[in-house]
Structure 1
Amino acid sequence: MSTRTTFARLRRRYLGYPLEAAVLYAVYGIFAVLPLDAASGLGGWIGRTVGPRLRASRKALRNIQRALPDETPRRQDEILRGMWDNLGRVMAEYAHLDEVWHRTEVIGAETIRRMAETRTPTLFFSAHIANWEINLMGATRNGLPVTAVYRRPNNPAAGRLIDHVRAVTGSRFVPKGRDGAREVMATLKNRGSVCMLIDQKMNDGIPIPFFGRDAMTAPAIAQLALRFDCAIVPAVPERLGGANFRLTVLPPMDVPTTGDREADIRAMMVRINALVEEWVRARPEQWLWLHRRWPD
């Protein structure tokens, strides 16, 4: 490792991280002292005002144009601004997650309660739509503890803040990677439940159609379902306006068991991607178009 690289890492660790954390805590504090509606509204304004000016918007707009080519350029721009508005609101709402839950209408809660009563090993899946933290609370607030995998931030102080705000969900979080994978398998082996967001690119995944183009897709949910005989339950949140939501929990999906494991995994992932696409088409402004889902 060169001296320059070492210096850059030390500067990032001892100067960059503390400054980044100070800004993050200050912004969180402002949102926390505001009422939920005011915080969400301010976050949305910041998102749709600043977001379209960021470099990341180029990637998001390119994704929108490729996925929804029949939309007019004006409509595509509206979707982009709507995405930033939603993302800004989500960030602001982290300071009010408990109240967010009390603003959420739940359809299909009986599916969750049935899984809890029967101790059926379950894989809940959703996507980065509306306020995606609602998925976790939908399970835990209906008597079903869940384990969720997440990527811990490089900044330890930021990680501690995220751990603090997510504690209200009542979920158990495990880090992405080998340790997290072992925790997930142990949870399912013990007839527990796991919540997954399955709409991000995985470079070593499998190509599955998504908006008419192959997208590298993580097959873990189908692999785990076959290995542990799990139920696969889709759940989708919707922002109904401001900081008001609906969470729809769908019935468990049929898991193909033809004996051809690779074919069964692919068939399952094709159906899952098709369902996520359906969700996104219904409310494109509420999906996080920033992910690099397709090859350039």
Structure 2
Amino acid sequence: MTATGNTPSKDDDHADLKDRVVSAIIIGVIRVLTLLPYRIRVPVSGWVLAHVAGPLIGYRQRVRDNLGLIFPEMPDAEKERLARAVPNQIGRTLAELFSPRDLIKTAAQTPVTGAGVAAIEDARQAGRPIILVSGHFGNYDVVRSVLIQRGYQVGGLYRAMNYRGFNDFYVSRIAQVGTPLFLRGRRGMGEMVKFLKSGNTIALLIDQHMSAGAPLKFFGHTAYTALSAAELALRYNALLVPCYGVRQPDGVSFEVVIEDPVPHGTPEDMTQALNDSLERQVCAHMEQWLWVHRRWKSQ
């Protein structure tokens, strides 16, 4: 017999079972880790991803591959150090994202620096839309929490996780830092644009490969990058501001850096300026960027 109408197929049942099992395992691990005090939980999560989970899922090799492409002259010893340090940072960030109350407390004690601080405050006072742009660097949600606590209305765009059960858990955690949150897609983009047009602030990440993006440069190599942040800034006269939650040497505290707004020009020039800004931050803190990304797929 074949499935007809809305009758679930065996493949649907299998996918649903896999979703529930995988989601339960991931959520279970996270809940066990939350039994630890926060200042222990964060480094332990980093160690687990660096030394246990990371090697199993290929993170170390992906870091080595990306570093080999971008820095062919980098000594092997440094590549190996970063192959461990990068997953460690990822594990720490995940622990923080799933510990929203502790993240909010950390953000409340986080200093805010940079040449763009006055500019975004002037824009907020004037009711001018603001687009905050960062990458998978440090902890990007610290920026959102810091500014929300300072009175900014900040909406975030997020991508749905592959497993529904885990996605619901994830959204429930990041929503505790602040709302609204917009799901990437046509409906979410529409809601986000309406929120931005009302004079609010949105937070975006632009460092993932976008096959329909512009062939811009990142570390001297072609990296297809979405132009949407710059296009929105031009369309709604919004301030376009690079910003970063930079992890400090103690591994659990941060500094939020708000850079000068990017001048309005062509979407390509504005987005290239965002790539250049992120590149400078990564060069200063190599282990804090997500070097496991397939950022240069075309190569």
- Contact 1:52 1:80 (C-alpha < 8 Å) held by counterparts: no
Q: Which amino acid aligns with 1:17?
A: D
User: Identity percentage over the alignment?
Assistant: 27
Query: Per-residue displacement from partner, 1:123-147 (whole Å, max 9, x unpaired)?
Result: 1001111122112112211111112
Structure 1: gaps (5+ residues): 257-263
Change (3 A) 1:130 1:199: same
Q: 2:64 aligns with which of 61, 66, 69?
A: 61
1:155-166 residue pairs with structure 2 within 5 A?
155-166=163-174
Q: 2:234 aligns with which of 220, 226, 237?
A: 226
Q: 2:255 aligns with which of 237, 241, 246?
A: 246
Q: Which amino acid aligns with 1:250?
A: E
Change (3 A) 1:9 1:60: farther
Q: Does 1:38 align with 2:44?
A: no
Tell me the CA shift for residue 277 of structure 1.
0.8
Tell me the CA shift for residue 112 of structure 1.
4.1
Q: Which amino acid aligns with 1:186?
A: K
SS of residue matched to 2:199: coil
Q: Does 1:147 align with 2:155?
A: yes
**TM-score w.r.t. length of structure 1:** 0.90
What is aligned with 2:77? Answer: 74
Measure, in 2, the Cα distance between the counterparts of 1:34 and 1:112.
37
- Contact 2:110 2:146 (C-alpha < 8 Å) held by counterparts: no
SS of residue matched to 1:204: coil
What is aligned with 1:274? Answer: 276
Q: 1:99 aligns with which of 98, 101, 105?
A: 105
Structure 2: gaps (5+ residues): none
- Contact 1:111 1:249 (C-alpha < 8 Å) held by counterparts: no
Q: Does 1:8 align with 2:19?
A: no
Q: 1:216 aligns with which of 218, 224, 229?
A: 224
- Contact 1:184 1:194 (C-alpha < 8 Å) held by counterparts: yes
Query: Per-residue displacement from partner, 1:131-171 (whole Å, max 9, x unpaired)?
Result: 22112112211111112111122423212211221123213
RMSD: 1.9
- Contact 1:203 1:216 (C-alpha < 8 Å) held by counterparts: yes
What is aligned with 2:194? Answer: 186
SS of residue matched to 1:279: helix
Measure, in 2, the Cα distance between the counterparts of 1:193 and 1:254.
17
1:109-124 residue pairs with structure 2 within 5 A?
109-124=117-132
SS of residue matched to 2:94: helix
> How many residues of Structure 1 are paired with residues of Structure 2 in the alignment?
286
- Contact 2:175 2:181 (C-alpha < 8 Å) held by counterparts: no
Q: Which amino acid aligns with 1:133?
A: D
**TM-score w.r.t. length of structure 2:** 0.89
What is aligned with 1:172? Answer: 180
Q: Which amino acid aligns with 2:156?
A: A
Q: 2:26 aligns with which of 24, 27, 30?
A: 24
User: Which stretch shifts more, 57-66 or 100-109?
Assistant: 100-109
Tell me the CA shift for residue 187 of structure 1.
1.8
Change (3 A) 1:100 1:12: farther
Tell me the CA shift for residue 16 of structure 1.
1.3
Q: Which amino acid aligns with 1:26?
A: G
SS of residue matched to 1:33: coil
Tell me the CA shift for residue 111 of structure 1.
4.3
